[in-house]
Amino acid sequence: MLIDSSSIMSISEANQNFSRVARQVDARGSVVILRNNKPRYVVFDYELVDSEVAESETVAEATRRILAKHKAAFEALAK
């Protein structure tokens, strides 16, 4: 998963302006939210998640699977 630097924001900024988070997700498909300057949360467009979710898989399971798949990218950002 390539992460565009313009799709990263702090948790305080996301908390104060969630409509901006939603607009960025609409434009880019996802936003990475940092907590203590480390990637902590990812907000995905539901259609993106839904396209990768098997019928028997919950959204939480799909999220864990997708994050595990892209763990290296998140670890690189955390450095």
pLDDT of residue 51: 57
Average pLDDT of the residues in 40-57:
72
8 Å CB contact between 39 and 15? no
pLDDT tens readout for residues 60-69: 777 788 888 8
8 Å CB contact between 51 and 27? no
pLDDT tens readout for residues 17-39: 999 999 999 998 889 999 998 88
pTM for the model stands at 0.60
